[in-house]
Amino acid sequence: MVIKRPAHKIIRLVPAGRWIIGAEGRVDIKSDLGTETLVYVSDGEPHPRIGSMTENGKVLWKDYPSPSEEDVVHGWVFLQNRALGMLPCLDRDLFYRLLEVLGR
């Protein structure tokens, strides 16, 4: 999906995986300013595990804690801080904020 708005950068929502370890899907939100990652987690699923490829082709795996029960039972979450494993639940306000930041 491509989002075009006057006076903003073009944003692309790119499916990055139907099933990934610890989650049921991944979508990257991309613009010229960078990429943000969303993953879909289900109740009772294991911790999400995301791999990034280095320049020499090696995959480095990072395990993330599952969202707490108070935060989200299931649904889309935003990988806000990969180093800390922060996974806030994606809602309309957060989605619009991501579009604003990536579309400047």
Query: In 3D, which of 64, 7, 5 has the Cα closest to residue 37?
Result: 64
H-run or E-run covering 36: strand 34-41
3-state secondary structure 52-76: EECCCCCEEEEECCCCCCCCCCCEE
Residue ranges of the domains in the chain?
2-102
| Residues in contact with 83: Cβ distance below 8 Å, sequence separation at least 6, in sequence order | none
CA 102 to mean position of chain CA atoms:
13
Of residues 60 and 95, the one with the higher pLDDT is 95
Q: Look up residue 47 and give its two tokens.
A: 């911790």
Of residues 56 and 46, the one with the higher pLDDT is 56
Q: Is the pTM of this model over 0.85?
A: no
pLDDT at 70: 53
pLDDT at 97: 93
pLDDT at 91 over 80: yes
- Average pLDDT of the residues in 24-52: 80
